[in-house]
Amino acid sequence: MCGGAHCWSRELMKLGHTVKLMAPHYVIPYRTRGKSDANDAEAICEAMSRPKTRFVATKSAEQQSILMVHRARALVMSSRAPQWSIRCMANSESSGSWCPKRRRACGVSCREYSRTRRTAYPRSHGRTLAALLEPFRILDQQKSGYDREFREMAAASKPAAAN
């Protein structure tokens, strides 16, 4: 099931068709050869002939929008987390400073370091540290924006507001 399957499903249902969507992990066991369109079609036909085949409900446009926000936030979190502390620790340790492993404390420590060590190190040192931390500040802003969007969606949702 590709990303456009739900959109096509909604369009076909508007035309009066009955649509059944299957998740790929239900079809894969029925594929006998390598992945190709013909082999996928054969596997889908085989899976459809089985009595215990499971189907997936068609998602609404709103549900897909919410999932997109979740995926975007997850992408921001996965790209931000591992690199933050590695960059900060490596650069501060090379200058004789200690940087904690926790991301938030690491950012504070690097900023403190760049303020307090300006006399001992060239100005470019502090600017370089600030430049290295800039992408993470931007990712933090993006994460905060997604969190704010989640709160707005929850406030507008009847089931979420009931809890």
pTM above 0.85, yes or no: no
Q: What is the pLDDT of residues 37-63, one digit of tens each?
A: 898 889 988 888 888 888 888 888 888
First to last CA, the chain: 33
Task: Answer whether residue 102 shows pLDDT above 60.
Answer: no
Confidence band (pLDDT; 50, 70, 90) for 64? Answer: confident
Confidence band (pLDDT; 50, 70, 90) for 162? Answer: low
Percent of the chain having pLDDT more than 90?
6
Q: DSSP states of 99-156 as a string?
A: --SSHHHHHHHHHHHHHHTTTTS-HHHHHHHHHHHHHHHHHHHHHHHHHHHHHHHHHH
* Range 15-32 average pLDDT: 88
Tell me the backbone φ, ψ of residue 22, rounded to 5 degrees. -120, 135
Task: Answer whether residue 132 shows pLDDT above 90.
Answer: no
Q: Which residues pair with 56 in a beta bridge?
A: 21
Q: What is the pLDDT of residues 135-144, one digit of tens each?
A: 777 888 888 8
Contact 101, 89 (CB under 8 A): yes
Cα 29 to Cα 38: distance, rounded to the nearest angstrom: 15
Q: Which residues pair with 21 in a beta bridge?
A: 56
Contact 153, 65 (CB under 8 A): no
* Alpha-carbon dihedral sign for residues 48, 49, 54, 58: positive
Mean per-residue pLDDT over the chain, rounded: 76
Q: Among 102-106, 127-131, 145-149, which stretch is predicted with the lowest mean pLDDT?
A: 102-106
